Amino acid sequence: MAVSKASGLGAKALLHSYREILESLEKLDISRTKDSPVGGYGEWLVSRAFGGERRGNSSKGADVVTPDGTRLQVKTRWLPKGGDSRQLSAIRNLDGKVFDFIIAVFLDRDFEVLEAWQIPHSAVGRLAKRAEHTNSHRLVLGPGVCGDAECREITAKIRAADPERRR
């Protein structure tokens, strides 16, 4: 729905449109919950890029498992303003080593892949900061993290998995 059409709608009409969008994304196997579909979209792209299988919502730690058993935890951020926070969502159970890599996907305002990073568990352990109040770790993908020797840019790989990408 174009913004010009949406701007004249009331709250309930917009929410009904949102529901229809979520249901359509669920049919495409992109979104699996009624939460924001951005995370599901990132998982879908990563599963396509790595030829992996998405795990169910109740799976802890890894969102995608590759054919060789590598466990990927996907963190997707939508950056509609460009200067938005590069802090990933909470990383839980870091000490339990429930993933092998974090795949961080940043999307621009049009949901195109802006950049993507593959960070091994060992680097996350070194670079993430403990957040006691949420019993988790947090990782901000700034120059210090992205410039780390173990952090690998995989933007082209994730972009190639998008069948609707702009050429």
Q: What is the CATH number of the domain that holds 116?
A: 3.40.210
Q: Where are the beta strands (DSSP E) in the chain?
A: 53-54, 64-65, 71-78, 101-107, 113-120, 129-131, 136-138, 152-153
* Domain assignment present for 139: yes
Asked which of 56-60, 85-89, 125-129 is least confident by mean pLDDT, the reply is: 56-60
At 58, give phi and psi (nearest 5°).
-85, -5
In this model, does residue 29 exceed pLDDT 90? no
Provide the domain limits for residue 62. 8-160
103-107 mean pLDDT: 96
* Domain assignment present for 130: yes
Question: Global pTM?
Answer: 0.87
- Residues in the chain, total: 167
- Binning pLDDT at 50, 70 and 90, where does residue 34 land? confident
pLDDT at 10 (0 to 100)? 84
- Binning pLDDT at 50, 70 and 90, where does residue 2 land? very low
* Domain assignment present for 111: yes
* Mean pLDDT over each residue of the chain, to the nearest integer: 90
* Domain assignment present for 166: no
2-31 mean pLDDT: 81
